Amino acid sequence: MNPYSDTKVSEKVVYRTFDQNIDEHELVWHRDLEDRKVTVIKGQGWYFQIENQLPVELKEGVSIFIPKMEYHRVIKGDSDLQIVIEE
């Protein structure tokens, strides 16, 4: 089971929500098979980290490019996190 819920908007666009009550141990390092652009819609205190880099805060309106097969993770914040993922 995934630590998030998805709403598919189109073949290449997904709205994803991480619940603030998620167990932080479910947010694991992983890689994606496609390049992704992630845009933060809503959330407080959440961070994003790419392997061998310092975490960056996920603020509303910020977009992040994630190259395919690059290890990364999300670090739990203080509210629900809502993002848009474009592949």
List, in order of start, the domains of the chain with CATH numbers. 5-86 (2.60.120.10)
Residue with tokens 């845009």: 39
* pLDDT band of 53, cuts 50, 70, 90: very high
Which H/E stretch holds residue 5? Answer: strand 5-8
Nearest to 79, CA basis, from 32, 40, 39: 40
Assigned token pair, 15: 């709205």
- Quote the Cα angle for 60-64-68, to 5°: 145
| pLDDT one-digit tens code per residue, 54-80 | 999 999 999 999 999 999 999 999 999
Assigned token pair, 87: 């592949």
Assigned token pair, 22: 């998620």
Residue 2: per-residue pLDDT: 87
| Residues above pLDDT 70, as percent of the chain | 100
Single-letter amino acid, residue 33: L
CB 79 within 8 A of CB 44: yes
- Average pLDDT on 4-25 reads 96
